[in-house]
Amino acid sequence: MSLRPSRRAVLMAVITGVVLHTVTVLSVWQSWGYFGRANVLTWIDFPVSILYFDSAGDGMLGWSLVVGGLQWAAIAALLTLWVGHTLHTRRN
């Protein structure tokens, strides 16, 4: 079963968004100090970081990976759909 080009593009954007978010979050978690990494993760995942703002330690990392990953997957999908729609509209 083959996907339509627009669905394939959205799927690739979602996967890319989650992978880039995961790599960024894990990199920040490993390289920043305790105080700095919480601030950086909060800004990377804003506004959904408000949901897990009171978490600390590994709980914050887990919430950031899951909830922030879903946020960035949705942003990547919507941006891909918008760009595809814009280009399709200009062509016709």
Q: What is the pLDDT of residues 26-83, one digit of tens each?
A: 999 999 887 788 888 889 999 988 888 788 778 889 999 999 999 999 999 999 999 9
Judged by DSSP in three states, 33 sits in coil
Asked whether residue 20 carries a pLDDT value surpassing 90, the answer given is yes
Judged by DSSP in three states, 80 sits in helix
Whats the size of the chain, residue-wise?
A: 92
What is the tally of helices (H) and strands (E) in the chain?
Answer: 4, 0
pLDDT at residue 56, rounded to an integer: 79
- Listed as own residue / partner, the contacts of 39-46 with beta carbons closer than 8 Å and 24 or more positions apart are 41/68, 44/68, 45/71, 45/72
A 10 A CB-CB count for 68 gives 24
Asked whether residue 90 carries a pLDDT value surpassing 70, the answer given is no
Least confident of 22-26, 48-52, 86-90: 86-90
